[in-house]
Structure 1
Amino acid sequence: MSEPAETPQPAVSSTAQFELAYRYDEPSNPSTLTVFTPETERCTTEWLTVDRPTAVSLDAVR
């Protein structure tokens, strides 16, 4: 039995855009960074918090 051929995916015409805000715990020596949507119509709280020792710089990700 042969495997089905992969369907080619269309090229992305534009990149996603996000309007995010951020806050950190201590301006002079931050240990956590929290990223969140400043305005949302949802009733839930959504955010992402990163501890400094576990963070990876964008240069290392690329």
Structure 2
Amino acid sequence: MSANIRFTPDEQIFKCHLAPDLFKAIDNGWGRQGWTTMLLEPASDADIVAALTMAHAHATGRRR
């Protein structure tokens, strides 16, 4: 199971290098905009919460 999440391009690069077993850049124009596939099975609850929190901050314009 997976989920597609939008990060900034810099965040995407960081996440994909930090945890390549969890994050993969989508291989097209959407991916170049920061859209990233997160594999949910190997992810911990904390990994999922952190990724969704980051994506939500972008969607709402709020940064923490």
Structure-1-length-normalised TM-score: 0.24
Which structure shows the higher helix fraction? Answer: 2
Q: Which of the pair has the greater relative contact order for Cα pairs under 8 Å at 6+ separation?
A: 2
Which of the pair has more CA radius of gyration? 1
Q: If the length of structure 2 is used for normalisation, what is the TM-score?
A: 0.24
